[in-house]
Structure 1
Amino acid sequence: MMTMGETWGSLGSAMATIMFVWTMYKNYFPPELNGQIIRYSQKIKSFIHPYIQITIPEYQGDGFERSKAYIAIERYLDKNSSKQARRLKANVVQDFESVVLSMEDHEEVTDEYKSIKLWWSSSQDIPNRQSISFYPREDEKRYFMLTFHKRHREFITKNYLKHVLDEGKDIAVRERQRKLYTNNKSENWYGYKRSMWSHVVFKHPATFGTLAMEPKKKQEIMDDLITFSKAEEYYAKVGKAWKRGYLLYGPPGTGKSTMIAAMANLLKYDVYDLELTAVKDNTELRKLLIDTSSKSIIVIEDIDCSLDLTGQREKKKEQKDDKNENKDPAKTEMMKQMEENKSSQVTLSGLLNFIDGLWSACGEERLIVFTTNHVEKLDPALIRRGRMDRHIELSYCGFEAFKELAKIYLSIESHYLFAQVGLLLEETNMTPADVAENLMPKSTAEGADFCLERLIKALEQAKEDARLKVEEEAKVKAEKEEKLRANKEEDEKEKGKQDTTVDEVKNT
């Protein structure tokens, strides 16, 4: 049975044959008759074949990458393919966790949009000649063909196709196998299989539901993220690139990396973990940015430790130059080249352009996240509003965060020991990671009472350790002050002896 597209294609071929025959013999007819034949043939063709066909090939341009439009249409048609097509292809995605069905070649499905009926067919061109190729696309050229009535031409090209592409992209994002990327050194960037980024499947279990944080603050962050993900028109309206910066700061163990994982799981974004020390210079940094995808989070962890971004590098270089001043010139030059080759030349200016310069608008719907344990060390220009739009402090565990952890790890929302835990949390500093470790049952025999008592003991020990540390620091400080005082007295006595000797010499 012929499909809709094949039927109209056959009719079109028949008309083309008639026109070809007429072209061969048209010289035997008067010019005025030829004109009438042309007009009538066009009317007959329009009457017999009042449909328009649009072809979307799988590969475009240089043919090295599948067309994004083709991929989006493929995902859009999946929902119709499984219900209508008789022959289907099964693709396993999500690390063997789900199967996506799509129509096989030369199948056809129908679609309806705003009461307009359309036909989609999947086809494949196979060359007549045999060839050996490293690239399958040279031998098999697949494409989708859309067929619709010509009276809907303007509406289909302006509205329907945009609807299909947008819906296909959304489906791909919802069902894609999300990845965690890290950047490679530039030596691995070139060749047919260039690899600026290496990746693994991102399957971190953290969510905002399992995050130890004060509920109100947690909800504010979630609302901000969701609002950002739906704000494409707003960002276009105000003339800003569709991106947002987050600065996560606080002591080690307070959940900065876990917060990033929760963000990615909430928005279903990929994560790009950017290691600045592996980036040679500002140009490479821009290339890495261009090679990231939309709907992603670009992360620079411990940014205060990643590079010297506030002029310290130049000071260190000057110090090294001073040390090498009196050494062999040839050896000094060799050491200098080795140092330049192994160290990153990314500057503060280059990083600022990466965040919100012209190149930052090369993608859309992206979060840029910095983490640091020492926010006071960062250059103010790096973290000002507009670059890091939201500053989130992740501090030591408070009582509200503890209750969230107790709900997660012990499945309880109240207990008679909660009050004692709350008092101890106010008197000492313990990270959410340490609190969670004490709350986690080590065996099935350990109930809520046992885990809470263990946490109380740990808090009391931490309190005692903090007290001893303060006393030790005070003792060391007192000893230093006593030593300074003794040295000062000794210096004064020595100076007095010297003055007496000078006076005796003068009198003599």
Structure 2
Amino acid sequence: MINPSFPKIPPTDMIITHLGSIFATFMFIWAIFQLYFLNQFRTSIEKYSQRLLALIYPYIQITFNEFTGERLMRSEAYSAIENYLTSTSSSQAKRLKADMSFSLYPFTADEKRFYKLTFHKRNRDLVIEPYLKHVLKQGKAIKVTNGQRKLYANNGSNWSHVVFEHPATFQTLAMEPYRKEEIMEDLVTFSESEEFYSRIGRTWKRGYLLYGPPGTGKSTMIAAMANLLGYDIYDLELTAVKDNTELRKLLIDTSSKSIIVIEDIDCSLDLTGQRRKKKEKQEEDDEQMKDPGQKGNKDEPRTSHVTLSGLLNFIDGLWSACGAERLIVFTTNFVEKLDPALIRKGRMDKHIELSYCGFEAFKVLAKNYREIERHDLFPRIQDLLDQVKMTPAYVAEHLMPKSAPGDPRTCLESLILALESAKQAKDSELCCM
């Protein structure tokens, strides 16, 4: 009798070992496939699916995020669209439609807000060029008309702001009328010259140098400029800026339609002639040699390493093109102390001298403070102002004394006494020479 032969069954542990080996081989092959083939396959699928979708779905979408860039700056385009839509529709609307077969939708996803513009591809040229330009231009104009202006100040590489509510205007500015008209015309012409600056290949900006004795109204002039054009003001304190890199970051963070102001530029940094004497430097070095720990004292004021070249690049270098429609304003009491490279034409395009109070400026002050346009004491005041140098700020102090709030004559007589006293002092000095 022949016994049938049966194959020997491997032990269970050997089967598990073989299955594990097969599974490991499969996973290795799958990993290689994912690494070298699946991504390319997925990319190809997405590429061709988008092409197929474009044939079937005839609409194009453009997304405008609220924050853009690595530093999460608020997008000017988003703000302009927000202003444009808010001016023509309810801010509570769930869906906002525009005419000409395209629509804008506000979305919120994961606390990130954005607007999405959807339009038919046959309107591509119409939307990309005239429509979007119209929306952005109108949105910026609405911000200027309805929005509150802001006054910014720098703390290190960051800006903080408050609402700008200075009441100064060119109508209330103590200056000769013809000079005010000239400055106002220059400012308005600048604000309307976008196409001109683009055509000649220059950055849309303009520099103003305001100079004159203290109390002649330089800061008031800046406020009047901002109120005339509807611009924000960035008050840049150079001594709080660590270096040129930080200065560039501050410039990038400024918006269009703004005035960047550096007051008292002659005293801001070493770069304008206020350099320390060698003796002072040597004394400081000697002190540090005696006590090396002083060098790292955290209580010492922050030292700025902004250089003249860094400031010049800020004004009209490559980085100055990061934005448009900006005024850069320097003020100084001593224009002769400034480096000529800093104030040449092309950097500070317009130089405005704010000098002592003349009779025309006095009449503006008298109307502002006392609401008077004529008085029998005016001729005497005119005669004295022609002979004596007195700042508008000092004249204004005599027009608003607490002792006689309702009596213009008392104020004018007080001013005449001050002018006569100044004239006598001047005559005495001339006699002693």
Q: TM-score range by the shorter chain?
A: 0.7 to 0.9
Contact 2:264 2:331 (8 Å CA) reproduced = yes
1:462 partnered with 2:433: no
- Quickly say closer, same or farther: Cα 1:321–1:394, change in 2 above 3 A: closer
Match of 1:183 in 2: 154
1:174 partnered with 2:174: no
1:156 partnered with 2:127: yes
Q: CA separation in 2, counterparts of 1:291 and 1:243?
A: 16
SS state at 1:208 partner:
coil
Measured against aligned partners, the alpha-carbon deviations of 1:291-317 in whole angstroms (never above 9, x if no partner) come to 21111111111111111215653x63x
Contact 2:83 2:143 (8 Å CA) reproduced = yes
Question: Which residues in structure 2 correspond to 1:94-493 (within 5 Å)?
Answer: 102-105=91-94, 107-111=95-99, 117-118=100-101, 120=103, 122-124=105-107, 137-139=109-111, 143-147=115-119, 151-185=122-156, 189=157, 196-310=158-272, 313=275, 316=277, 318-320=278-280, 322-323=282-283, 330-331=289-290, 333-335=292-294, 342-440=302-400, 442=402, 446-468=406-428, 474=432
Choose the corresponding residue for 2:77, options 69, 77, 93: 69
SS state at 2:363 partner:
helix
> Following TM superposition, by how much is the alpha carbon of 1:445 offset from its aligned partner in structure 2, in angstroms?
6.2
Measured against aligned partners, the alpha-carbon deviations of 1:1-21 in whole angstroms (never above 9, x if no partner) come to xxxxxxxxxxxxxxxxxxxxx
TM-score, length-scaled by structure 2 = 0.78
Amino acid at match of 1:370: F
Match of 1:78 in 2: 86
Runs of 4+ in structure 1 deviating by more than 6 angstroms, as ranges, are none
Deviates more, 1:402-411 or 1:175-184: 402-411
> Following TM superposition, by how much is the alpha carbon of 1:324 offset from its aligned partner in structure 2, in angstroms?
6.5
- Quickly say closer, same or farther: Cα 1:448–1:391, change in 2 above 3 A: same
The structure whose RCO (Cα within 8 Å, separation 6+) is larger is 2
Q: CA separation in 1, counterparts of 2:67 and 2:308?
A: 39
Aligned residues: 379
> Following TM superposition, by how much is the alpha carbon of 1:437 offset from its aligned partner in structure 2, in angstroms?
2.0
Choose the corresponding residue for 2:63, options 48, 56, 65: 56
> Following TM superposition, by how much is the alpha carbon of 1:378 offset from its aligned partner in structure 2, in angstroms?
1.2
Measured against aligned partners, the alpha-carbon deviations of 1:263-312 in whole angstroms (never above 9, x if no partner) come to 11111111111111111222222221112111111111111111121565
SS state at 1:209 partner:
coil
Contact 1:242 1:365 (8 Å CA) reproduced = yes
Match of 2:38 in 1: none
Match of 1:487 in 2: none
Deviates more, 1:167-176 or 1:424-433: 167-176
- Quickly say closer, same or farther: Cα 1:324–1:206, change in 2 above 3 A: closer
Amino acid at match of 1:380: P
- Quickly say closer, same or farther: Cα 1:366–1:122, change in 2 above 3 A: same
Measured against aligned partners, the alpha-carbon deviations of 1:229-279 in whole angstroms (never above 9, x if no partner) come to 111111122222111111111111110110011011111111111111111
Amino acid at match of 1:170: A
Percent identity for Structure 1 against Structure 2: 59
Amino acid at match of 2:150: K
Q: CA separation in 1, counterparts of 2:217 and 2:170?
A: 11
Q: CA separation in 2, counterparts of 1:57 and 1:165?
A: 12
> Following TM superposition, by how much is the alpha carbon of 1:430 offset from its aligned partner in structure 2, in angstroms?
1.1
Measured against aligned partners, the alpha-carbon deviations of 1:56-80 in whole angstroms (never above 9, x if no partner) come to 3544656945543333222222333
- Quickly say closer, same or farther: Cα 1:276–1:419, change in 2 above 3 A: same
Q: CA separation in 1, counterparts of 2:164 and 2:288?
A: 50
Q: CA separation in 1, counterparts of 2:290 and 2:363?
A: 62
Deviates more, 1:447-456 or 1:203-212: 447-456
- Quickly say closer, same or farther: Cα 1:465–1:57, change in 2 above 3 A: same
Q: CA separation in 2, counterparts of 1:268 and 1:183?
A: 21
Structure 1: gaps (5+ residues)? 1-40, 82-87, 89-101, 112-116, 126-136, 190-195, 478-508
Q: CA separation in 1, counterparts of 2:288 and 2:136?
A: 63
Contact 2:61 2:117 (8 Å CA) reproduced = yes
Structure 2: gaps (5+ residues)? 1-51
- Quickly say closer, same or farther: Cα 1:293–1:123, change in 2 above 3 A: closer
TM-score, length-scaled by structure 1 = 0.67
Root-mean-square deviation (CA, aligned residues, Å) is: 3.1
Amino acid at match of 1:167: Q
> Following TM superposition, by how much is the alpha carbon of 1:461 offset from its aligned partner in structure 2, in angstroms?
2.4
Q: CA separation in 2, counterparts of 1:429 and 1:311?
A: 28
- Quickly say closer, same or farther: Cα 1:329–1:451, change in 2 above 3 A: closer
Measured against aligned partners, the alpha-carbon deviations of 1:144-185 in whole angstroms (never above 9, x if no partner) come to 44445x543422332212211221122123222211111113
SS state at 1:386 partner:
coil
- Quickly say closer, same or farther: Cα 1:413–1:145, change in 2 above 3 A: same
Contact 2:78 2:114 (8 Å CA) reproduced = no
Amino acid at match of 2:87: K
Match of 1:504 in 2: none
Contact 2:356 2:392 (8 Å CA) reproduced = yes
Contact 1:214 1:400 (8 Å CA) reproduced = yes
